[in-house]
Amino acid sequence: MNAYKVQLVQELKPHDHPMRFRFAQWAEDRLIEDEHFYRKIIFSDEAHFHLGGYVNKQNCRIWGSENVHVIVEKPMHPQRVTVVWCGF
């Protein structure tokens, strides 16, 4: 028997796909205009304090003779408090 981790993925709604495609097209256009565009992106960090149920994939294992590829979809906007910081 082996221990397998649960894979957490963002729950995607049907209206999310066109928005993701538009963003990918926009980012590709910016890279065509300026090959160093990716260097101008500002990164930040955040911490989430969940107000409801939460699956900690570090502590959740599925034991079996083969990987069953368990996927748990999570809502994109669960109830939580978020602390964000950003630096320029």
What pTM, to 2 d.p., does this model score? 0.43
Q: How confident is the model at residue 32 (pLDDT cuts 50, 70, 90)?
A: very high
Q: Which residue has the tokens 């409801």?
A: 52
CA separation for the pair 44, 42 (Å, rounded): 7
Give the helix ranges, DSSP H, for the chain.
16-33
Q: How confident is the model at residue 49 (pLDDT cuts 50, 70, 90)?
A: low
